[in-house]
Amino acid sequence: MKKKLISMLLTGVMAASLLAGCGGTAAPAAPAAPAAEAPAEEAPAEEAEEKVEEVAEDVEEAAEEVKEEAADAGSGELISVGFAQVGHESDWRTASTKSCQDVFSKENGYDLSFVDCDNDEAAQKEAVRSFIEQGVDYIIIDPIIATGWDTVLTECEDAGIPVIVIDRTIDDSDKYVSWVGSDFLTEGKAAGEWLKAYVDAQGIKEVNALIIQGTIGSSAQIGRTDGFQEIADREGWTVLDKQTGDFTEAGGQEVMESYCKSYAGKFNVVICENDNEAFGAMTAMDNAGVKYGPGNDVILISYDACTAGLKEVQAGKITADFECNPLAAPTVEGVIKTLESGGTPEAQILVPDNWYALKDAIVDFSVDGNAQKMIEVTDEVIEAQY
């Protein structure tokens, strides 16, 4: 606002200067009138010069105010944040990283130290220890696995640095202020309950499933596996095999290639614990001549519901996709603001998730007695997704 004011005032100075210049310039000579008839006129130059001085004084005062405000803004210290990210193994992870980098930017008042731990558990703990040495104000951790954290979190506590856990959970320590993420167990149950309703609607009497798990020991893998298995056990379905694809496309393809050889003609459901694994599984089934997707031999279920995943739903390849929202950073910032103001944030904060399918695969189902809503995948839905 001050800059705009200065601009306006400067415009006034220029106009007044021009006026003063015009007032001091001799006009073309006119025929002389008798002296007695000539009206007395005051030259406008003096008035213009006075106006210039007044506007210049206003500009100077406004400029000083802008300098003072800039100095006040510049003197505010940035809030330092250390973020130990799992890695870069999936589209979901890329979106999670970008969300944090966008929110915790210098423009927003933060100094972010980011470490991509490349799925290395030891490297992640060392990253946290480096944040302690740096003396950051807050530490964000997306834990690669759920255990082995108590010692390093105790070090954070001793250093007086609040820790916020996002996405995956920590099971062997409570030395963090908040966890922000999705309910993985509910995701797994939702996939199972949807499958129950879907096969009933399709008249499919027998379910023989193969599961491509995420990184073993991660809370996302544990929750999704256990949640689906609970429904499978209740319904008497056969789970032929479970192997990890480490949440990667290459891992998903490798596991599915093995499945296609070992269980050829024996399976009618494949569950991939993230979209990237599903992409790899699709390649392996394509190469093996296995038909999958709505109306075909194999029902393909995935998790994450990234943009690329929803495109495969729309293409009729993934039958249903269960979202895990990666955009936790704005909620994490809310936790930090609460702490900065002296408040106490909630210990657990769930980010909203949605379930997606094409119209013909949308069925009514419930999870733990709670009716679920599915969203039909359209161009508009894909455009709005992460």
Q: Which residue ranges make up each domain of the chain?
A: 81-182+329-335, 184-326+353-384
Note the pLDDT of residue 242.
Answer: 98
- The residue length of the chain stands at 386
Angle between helices 249-262 and 275-288 (to 10 degrees): 40
Q: Across residues 83-88, what is the average pLDDT?
A: 97
Q: Across residues 73-101, what is the average pLDDT?
A: 90
Instruction: Please name the CATH architecture into which domain 184-326+353-384 falls.
Output: 3-Layer(aba) Sandwich (3.40)
Note the pLDDT of residue 64.
Answer: 53
Q: Across residues 269-279, what is the average pLDDT?
A: 98
The chain-wide mean pLDDT, for the chain, equals 87
Q: Across residues 183-191, what is the average pLDDT?
A: 98
Read off the pLDDT band of 292 (50, 70, 90).
Answer: very high
Read off the pLDDT band of 50 (50, 70, 90).
Answer: low
Please list, in sequence order, all residues whose beta carbon lies within 8 angstroms of the beta carbon of residue 334, skipping any fewer than 6 positions away: 345
Q: Across residues 132-148, what is the average pLDDT?
A: 97
Least confident window among 33-37, 213-217, 231-235: 33-37
pLDDT exceeds 70 at position 63: no
Note the pLDDT of residue 132.
Answer: 98
Same topology between domain 81-182+329-335 and domain 184-326+353-384:
yes
Note the pLDDT of residue 60.
Answer: 56
Q: Across residues 221-228, what is the average pLDDT?
A: 98
Note whether 280 and 252 are within 8 A (CB): yes
Note the pLDDT of residue 288.
Answer: 98
N- to C-terminal Cα distance for the chain?
35
pLDDT exceeds 80 at position 232: yes
Q: Across residues 97-114, what is the average pLDDT?
A: 98
Angle between helices 45-75 and 2-23 (to 10 degrees): 160
DSSP H helices in 24-84: 45-75
pLDDT exceeds 50 at position 2: no
What is the CATH number that goes with domain 81-182+329-335? 3.40.50.2300
Note whether 86 and 117 are within 8 A (CB): yes
Q: Across residues 166-176, what is the average pLDDT?
A: 97
